[in-house]
Chain A
């Protein structure tokens, strides 16, 4: 309750609330879903309106769309190899879904859907299922040699195989926790320091001046959060590419 004076309430920003009135309430359509749709619409809009002029000398939006396209395209081909082109649509979609989620969350009053482990783990699970299916499809049962590096002594197989399997299964967990933890930590930090500003400003004349310190820190943190938002989307996409590389090339 905010009524009995300012308290630090850092976690209520992650709560889901139904959106779109009674209809949204009846189908559990939350504000997270609204922002996911917004992210998809923004990405599609950027590509559509960026590609539509099709100018030889690109304008700003077209340059953005082309840079995004070619950046992810080169990431795929650099990391995965020639076969990476098949996975380009997947990696592009994934990158922009995560990026838009992180970036939209930086708007005031916005909701960061990548701060929910349900979302990030669903994405990571999708990646790992795709990687496994691709590896099985290309290499067949030879895929299982992935869990036993050649050259290792046969005697150590009972030790190496479980360790490698756990290591493989921990990929989606670490992938999702990394994104989720970064987003939650950043937003909690912002909320805490923003609460400091309000609480100090309410504490008298000296507090009003002292509250400039956390305010300045927030400015720095906001910039840092933009960096983290971009970097985490990039890390998510590039780790997907690395896992796909492992699946295509196997060792």
Chain B
């Protein structure tokens, strides 16, 4: 959000000559090249991986709340599934028991995803279809 780039003073309505689908960085680079300016210093991979994938963690209280919410919501979903399947298949209470365990595991998996050290992001080639 702290924007250092000179995005505000580009001329309005002036056709930049780049394809309209190009990203702002591409258009800026093209404009700078046309004006004979040096290309902007960019991150090695287009500024894509400099920021982490996880949202801001906030303070310890917020982190604790998030962990609690993740655990409880996974368990709630699992209990709902187990309850529904039990009623449907007439296997009360075994599927509920099974899904409580699975829900706890899913909650722990959620929490692990939350606190795990960020994976080194593979350099994804831009997907062709899409």
B1 touches A174 (CB 8 A): no
Task: Given A85-B23, A163-B102, A248-B130, answer yes or no on A78-B1 (Cβ-Cβ < 8 Å).
Answer: no
Tell me the A residues contacting B by CB distance below 8 Å.
Answer: 54, 56-58, 66-67, 70-71, 74, 77-79, 81-83, 85, 138, 159, 162-164, 166-167, 169-170, 173-174, 177-178, 181-182, 231, 234-235, 238-239, 242, 245, 248-249
A67 touches B130 (CB 8 A): no
Chain B: residues with Cβ within 8 Å of the partner, total of 40
A81: B residues at CB distance < 8 A? 48, 124, 126
Tell me the B residues contacting A by CB distance below 8 Å.
Answer: 1, 3, 7-9, 12, 23, 47-48, 51, 53-56, 58, 62, 65-66, 69-70, 72-74, 76-78, 81, 99, 102-103, 105-107, 109-110, 124, 126-127, 129-130
The residue among A66, A82, A249 with the most chain B CB atoms within 10 A of its own CB is A82
B130: A residues at CB distance < 8 A? 83, 138, 248
Who on chain B is nearest to A81 by CB?
A: B48
Closest approach, in angstroms, between the C-beta of A153 and any C-beta of chain B? 16
Closest approach, in angstroms, between the C-beta of A210 and any C-beta of chain B? 27
Who on chain B is nearest to A140 by CB?
A: B129
Task: Given A70-B3, A83-B130, A177-B73, answer yes or no on A166-B66 (Cβ-Cβ < 8 Å).
Answer: no
A174: B residues at CB distance < 8 A? 69-70, 73-74, 110
Interchain residue pairs with CB less than 8 A apart (7): A56-B12, A58-B8, A77-B48, A167-B109, A174-B73, A177-B69, A181-B69
A163: B residues at CB distance < 8 A? 102, 105-106, 109
Closest approach, in angstroms, between the C-beta of A127 and any C-beta of chain B? 14
B55: A residues at CB distance < 8 A? 234-235, 238-239, 242
A231 touches B56 (CB 8 A): yes
